[in-house]
Chain A
């Protein structure tokens, strides 16, 4: 750093002294400005990633040191049946969370309806789940889903359906969690879609209606294509969030829940391997593989978007 600084100083020596000092300071301040972000990212994101990759090649026991074991952790990954199940659950979760997109678009369109009264109230209500702590969300939904006393089953009973213990029943638990995940994301997605909808010029609709296009045709030929950049952005985020599913599983499924196997995601399995069983090296390998899967899926999404995303 200091050599580079000296080089700049030497070059600037020919110029008037005041300008030199100014340039010098520019350079310092530039780094100073980005330093907090770079340091934060480096220390809390990049360095842990590098470390995780290193530890994934080691056996890192509870308190002992890490010993190099080469690819052994990765070999074990493929022989442990729990990983296959967790991966499948994770994909189901990531895939189904895309269902939140049409819902969010509908919400965004409704909130954007001209002349809607109390619009700021509705916006607040839809956005509230986003800023609510996951622990509180989990607790409320655990009550709603209660098989004997839950509100969900009460409402179902009004139409003659006898509901089940939604998050304790192995066949329903995963989908019940997906629903909560989608519910918490709708507000955030809707904000992005509202911005996207507002940026569509109104003259396009006017022209279309003059040409005789109905509401449905306008939606599919104008709204959807012009909204596609937002849809793409939200779908990338939804898939990444879905793949990292942990908090709801951890908070809503108490120990001894018979649906644990059916809802275990890669990250929740990672947590129990690393912090409950003390197999941290092995868990690091799981994290690395999940990172690679996320990377591949995101790259695929970016490749495919060229076919359907229209940038106006």
Chain B
């Protein structure tokens, strides 16, 4: 009897296992291959992703693409667990801070040979993005889109305070002067939002001051560099002069919402938030290139890439799909949806035109001054230290210089553990 039960259990497990396998892998049913494509932004980019997948199947009838959406907050945890278990999606979105870790740990398929064999021209994408996804001379991702940062401003508040709109000629001094004029404590309006966000805020000013976040050889932190500290102080001064809400206030109330509701006159934010400002009713927003610092102009450029999972069962089909994702056709679909700036050369125009009334050209015009988003092999290990330290430094009564120097020591220790 026990033997029978055992056999039954085994058989049951087998059936369940098989069912599990076939449903998760997609398998080959009738010569058809199903690829899974994972991404994290459904609200803005879901429609474009669906359309791209459909178009791909039209030209590759034997390959079907299953879209797998996971909210950003859980995306990496889920992907990491799946990759460790050998069941990650065949193709998925990748970002700058994670590429080093995923590529160096062998989770991604190197694409260099396939790029060479198919004579794919990487010159069609911004060089800083192609470089972002290159590790030890191997290409791991095909750029999907890119973003730069701009100075957003509320036209109604500028008009009321009779301040000239920002333009390409602005410098840090203009920002400070305008913030002073625009701040109106009685109405709860602040001239600017000085939030301790890296990509949107202080990375840009660090570069504009001539500083750096991480050395080119990825071995040394730049946070003890005087120019870097100057870039941080730009924000700290605005906070100290009460021209911005406190960091605590902006933690309680999302500064993006504050800008939308007319509580902030100026706000540094990326091109990826353009569509939500465009859609906000009652908000007359404008955008200008980032004002120049002591060492000139600079903006952070970052962009996503499509990558192939190293253990995919269908490397050739996955590559075909990634190649399609990087094609002019797929980029055009992205551009017309307006959600992101497509990475493919010459298609930025249609993105700019997708939101009439907003001068989105400011984001494209800054490309010559764009600086790559700072990363190393294990960015996450020091990014957490950095966020905590800089946020702390931006609160009342904290000394930016001392905190930044402590951060540099801690970050150097984290970097020394990278192999």
B-binding residues in A (CB < 8 A): 1-2, 5, 28, 61-64, 145-150, 164-165, 167-170, 254-258, 260-261, 272, 275-279
Decide if A256 touches B195 in the complex (CB within 8 Å): yes
Q: Which of A146, A147, A257, A277 is close to B384, meaning CB atoms less than 8 Å apart?
A: A277
Decide if A256 touches B197 in the complex (CB within 8 Å): yes
B381 within 8 A of A: yes
Decide if B378 touches A272 in the complex (CB within 8 Å): no
With A62-B101, A256-B196 in contact, is A148–B388 under 8 Å at CB? no
List of A residues within 8 angstroms of B196 by Cβ = 256, 258
Decide if B384 touches A272 in the complex (CB within 8 Å): yes
| Most A CB within 10 A of own CB, among B248, B253, B378 | B248
List of B residues within 8 angstroms of A145 by Cβ = 252
**Interface size bucket, B side?**
20 to 34
Decide if B2 touches A5 in the complex (CB within 8 Å): yes
Decide if A168 touches B247 in the complex (CB within 8 Å): yes
Task: Output the nearest chain A residue to B391 by Cβ-Cβ distance.
Answer: A258
**A150 CA to B76 CA, complexed, in Å:** 32
List of B residues within 8 angstroms of A258 by Cβ = 196, 247-248, 251, 391-392, 394-395
Decide if B395 touches A147 in the complex (CB within 8 Å): no
**A2 CA to B381 CA, complexed, in Å:** 52
Decide if A277 touches B378 in the complex (CB within 8 Å): yes
**A106 CA to B378 CA, complexed, in Å:** 52
Task: Output the nearest chain A residue to B255 by Cβ-Cβ distance.
Answer: A256
Decide if A147 touches B391 in the complex (CB within 8 Å): no
A-binding residues in B (CB < 8 A): 1-2, 76-77, 80, 83-84, 101-102, 105-107, 195-197, 246-249, 251-253, 378, 380-381, 384, 387-388, 391-392, 394-395
**A146 CA to B107 CA, complexed, in Å:** 42
Decide if A168 touches B252 in the complex (CB within 8 Å): yes
Decide if A277 touches B251 in the complex (CB within 8 Å): no
With A258-B391, A275-B80 in contact, is A62–B105 under 8 Å at CB? yes
List of A residues within 8 angstroms of B395 by Cβ = 170, 258
List of A residues within 8 angstroms of B2 by Cβ = 1-2, 5, 28
Decide if B392 touches A170 in the complex (CB within 8 Å): yes
Decide if B380 touches A276 in the complex (CB within 8 Å): yes
List of A residues within 8 angstroms of B253 by Cβ = 146, 148-149
Task: Classify the secondary structure of A's interface with B.
Answer: loop
27 example contacts (A-B, Cβ-Cβ < 8 A) are as follows: A5-B2, A62-B83, A62-B84, A63-B80, A63-B107, A64-B105, A146-B253, A147-B248, A149-B253, A164-B248, A165-B246, A165-B248, A168-B249, A168-B251, A170-B395, A254-B251, A256-B196, A256-B251, A257-B251, A258-B247, A258-B248, A260-B387, A260-B388, A260-B391, A275-B80, A276-B380, A277-B380
List of A residues within 8 angstroms of B107 by Cβ = 62-63
List of B residues within 8 angstroms of A260 by Cβ = 387-388, 391
Q: Which of A64, A272, A278 is close to B106, meaning CB atoms less than 8 Å apart?
A: A64
Cβ distance B132 to chain A, nearest Cβ, rounded Å: 19
Cβ distance A115 to chain B, nearest Cβ, rounded Å: 44
**A170 CA to B196 CA, complexed, in Å:** 15
**A181 CA to B42 CA, complexed, in Å:** 34
Decide if A63 touches B388 in the complex (CB within 8 Å): no
**A127 CA to B249 CA, complexed, in Å:** 33
List of B residues within 8 angstroms of A279 by Cβ = 381
Decide if B101 touches A256 in the complex (CB within 8 Å): no
List of B residues within 8 angstroms of A62 by Cβ = 80, 83-84, 101-102, 105, 107
With A62-B107, A256-B387, A258-B392 in contact, is A147–B101 under 8 Å at CB? no
| Most B CB within 10 A of own CB, among A64, A149, A257 | A257
List of B residues within 8 angstroms of A5 by Cβ = 2
Decide if A63 touches B251 in the complex (CB within 8 Å): no
Task: Output the nearest chain A residue to B81 by Cβ-Cβ distance.
Answer: A275
| Most A CB within 10 A of own CB, among B76, B107, B388 | B388
List of A residues within 8 angstroms of B388 by Cβ = 260-261
**A308 CA to B106 CA, complexed, in Å:** 58
Q: Which of B76, B251, B384 is close to A165, meaning CB atoms less than 8 Å apart?
A: B251
List of A residues within 8 angstroms of B249 by Cβ = 147-148, 165, 168
Task: Output the nearest chain A residue to B196 by Cβ-Cβ distance.
Answer: A256
Decide if B391 touches A257 in the complex (CB within 8 Å): yes
List of B residues within 8 angstroms of A275 by Cβ = 76-77, 80
Decide if A146 touches B392 in the complex (CB within 8 Å): no
Cβ distance B275 to chain A, nearest Cβ, rounded Å: 22
Q: Which of A61, A146, A150, A165 is close to B105, meaning CB atoms less than 8 Å apart?
A: A61
List of B residues within 8 angstroms of A277 by Cβ = 378, 380-381, 384
**A165 CA to B245 CA, complexed, in Å:** 12
Cβ distance A33 to chain B, nearest Cβ, rounded Å: 15
Decide if B248 touches A256 in the complex (CB within 8 Å): no
**A149 CA to B384 CA, complexed, in Å:** 29
**A258 CA to B388 CA, complexed, in Å:** 7
List of B residues within 8 angstroms of A278 by Cβ = 80, 101, 378, 380
**A102 CA to B146 CA, complexed, in Å:** 57
Decide if A148 touches B252 in the complex (CB within 8 Å): yes
**A61 CA to B246 CA, complexed, in Å:** 38
If A165-B248, A278-B378, A278-B380 are given as contacts, then 19 extra A-B residue pairs at C-beta distance below 8 Å, sorted by A number, are A2-B2, A28-B1, A62-B80, A62-B84, A62-B107, A63-B80, A63-B107, A148-B249, A164-B248, A165-B246, A167-B252, A168-B251, A168-B252, A170-B395, A256-B195, A256-B196, A257-B251, A258-B394, A275-B80
**A234 CA to B195 CA, complexed, in Å:** 43
Q: Which of A1, A149, A168, A255 is close to B387, meaning CB atoms less than 8 Å apart?
A: A255
